[in-house]
Amino acid sequence: MNLISFLLDATDNTAASYFPIGIQLIFAAGFVAVMIALSAWVGPKRRTSDKLETFTSGIASHGDARQPIAIKYFLVAILFVLFDVEVIFFYPYAVNFKALGWDGFLAVLMFVAFFLIGFIYIIKKGALDWED
C-alpha cells in the first residue's frame, strides 16, 4: 500500500461513515428524554406553598428584585477581568526568560509600562472610588 492510497482511504467522508455518530446521538437524546420522563412519572408530587416559594437561601425576601445596582460594581468586575488576563501574559516570559534575553526583557518592561499607564489612568478617572 503506497502513501497516496493510504491518504485517500483515510479521507473517506461518505454518509455511511457518519452513521455510528448519528446512532449514538439518537441513543443519547432518547436516554435523556426517557430519564426526564421517568423522573417526572416516578418522582414525588407534593406541591406545598413552601415548596413553590422562590428559594432565597433561608432569608425572607423583601423588596423588588429589579432595583438598580450601581455601575461601579460592574466596572470593578470588568477591570478585574481585564487586569487579571494581562497578568496571565507574564507566565510565558517567566518560563522562557533566559531564552528571550535582553530583547524579551525590554518587551516585558514595555508591557508593564503600558499596564501601569492604564492602571494610573483608571485611578485618575476615579473608577475605583465607591463614594457617591
Say if residue 45 is in the same domain as residue 88: no
Domain assignment present for residue 62? The answer is no
Expressed as residue numbers, the domain containing 12 is 3-52
Question: For residue range 49-100, what is the model confidence (pLDDT) as tens digits?
Answer: 877 777 767 676 677 767 777 777 788 888 888 878 888 888 888 888 888 8
Residue 132 domain-assigned (yes or no): no
Amino acid occupying residue 127: A
Give the model's pLDDT for residue 90.
Answer: 83
Q: Which of 9-13, 92-96, 103-107, 111-115 has the lowest mean pLDDT?
A: 9-13
Q: Are residues 46 and 19 in the same domain?
A: yes
The Cα–Cα gap between 105 and 123 comes to 27
> In this predicted structure, what is the pLDDT of residue 9?
58
Give a yes or no: residue 89 inside a domain: yes
Read off the pLDDT of residues 85-98 as tens digits, 9 standing for 90 and up. 888 888 888 888 88
pLDDT in the model for residue 38? 95
In a domain, 130, yes or no: no
